[in-house]
Amino acid sequence: MARIIRAEAVSPEEGAFNARELFIQAFGYEPEGVWSAPGRVNVIGEHVDYNGGPCLPIALPHRAYLALAPRADRAVRLISPQTADAIDDLDLDSIGPWGGPRQVPSHWTAYIAGVAWALERDGHGPLPGFDAALWSCVPVGGGLSSSAALECATAVAVDEVCGLGLAGSDEGRRLLVDAARAAENEIAGANTGGLDQTASMRCRAGHALALDCRDMSAEPIPFDLASSGLELLVIDTRAKHSLADGQYGQRRADCEEAARLLGVGQLVEVSDLDAAMSALEGHERLARRTRHVVSEIARTRAFIELMGEGPLEGERLDVAALLLDDSHDSLRDDYEVSCAELDVAVAAARAAGAHGARMTGGGFGGCIVALLPHHLVEPVKQHLAANYQARTGLKEEVFVCTAHEGVSVAKEAV
């Protein structure tokens, strides 16, 4: 079987064709359809989703494509280009969360099987088993939510073939987000907030999603940088990260402990940062975590307000640049989720003229975003090519990002 592994975005037609062909090669018959969901990049608002704060993601052109057909039994058979020599065989009756009596699926299969498990747990069942072939061009380990893309593609596919009727409304999509998030948290073992799945499921083309993680309400905000002669550059440092390696969970535990000491349910409720710092005296690490979260919430709200006021120009662009730069510095110094590769890439983008640059995603590797004038796109790429690899030994990948559509709720042509 051909192994199709790509990092660049492809057209929906090509992605659907690749998933369908992989399905036919593996299972010997036609899938019922191909569904897709995008990765995301978070413009600002990092590590605040599980603290109840606001985030501002956009959907990427990079998508996970899932060809799927229901079965008459409870078996789940899964294939991807990376495992094209072997089909993973699971059973819905044997799947369960960490620490329980049932089987925890391994690696990427947890994201697919976990969605079906969560939908059944939430009362949308019993579900049939299914055969599915994954073909994804969302970079893995880059902090662009490749797992959420896979979860959300699975959610809308299962929703349609099983007639659940959830994906057709925003309220229904929120229920699918809950199932996708449960798959990530309880089956895959990554204790993330709901930012990634919500962005993949609910983003709109041409818009950023102003997401309030207190109640998961969301408002689309026009995201038209081109009208101001600007571009959002995404730079994959190629330094891999994992949200299930304990570091992410430790940051979340720090925030929960800080909230407990401050007598609030979530850190979004902290209104007086100076008073919070005084209350956390003697808890230096928790104070730093709290300072990042509270200041990042303020930065994100300010950035959302700027975007709602029209094109980023003049003094408003200067403010946006400062917010992005401060976000990275806070993530590096107070939250301690940056790394040498991210810092080198951010410094290179700033030196080449970017209007603000910051790490994006969970951290410890992955990607940065840089806001810059259109005419500086190629000079920034050249500056990175001349400096980043020499400093890190890694070859970065760079692409200009515009805001794309969320999940495909209709089957692609097969």
- Angle of CA points 399, 400, 405, to nearest 5°: 110
What's the farthest any 2 CA atoms get from each other in the chain?
A: 65
**What DSSP line would sit under 127-158, residue for residue?**
PP-EEEEEEE-SPTTSSS-HHHHHHHHHHHHH
Strand partners, 77: 89, 131
Tokens at 139, concatenated = 């970079």
Q: Are 331 and 47 in contact (CB under 8 A)?
A: yes
What secondary structure letter does DSSP report for 105?
Answer: P
Active site (annotated) includes residue 196: yes
Q: b or e along 103-113 (b: 16 or more beta carbons within 10 Å of the residue's beta carbon)?
A: ebbeebbbbbb
Q: How many CB atoms lie within 10 A of CB 310?
A: 12
Which stretches of 162-246 are DSSP H helices? 170-182, 195-202
Contacting residues for 203 by C-beta, under 8 A, at least 6 apart: 38, 40, 57, 58, 59, 209, 220, 403, 404, 405, 406
Reference 210, options 142, 132, 287, 302; nearest CA is: 302
Rounded Cα gap, residues 112 and 187, in angstroms: 10
* Catalytic option among 159, 178, 196, 254: 196
Contacting residues for 84 by C-beta, under 8 A, at least 6 apart: 1, 2, 3, 22, 25, 26
Rounded Cα gap, residues 7 and 70, in angstroms: 29
Q: How many CB atoms lie within 10 A of CB 75?
A: 15
Catalytic residues: 196
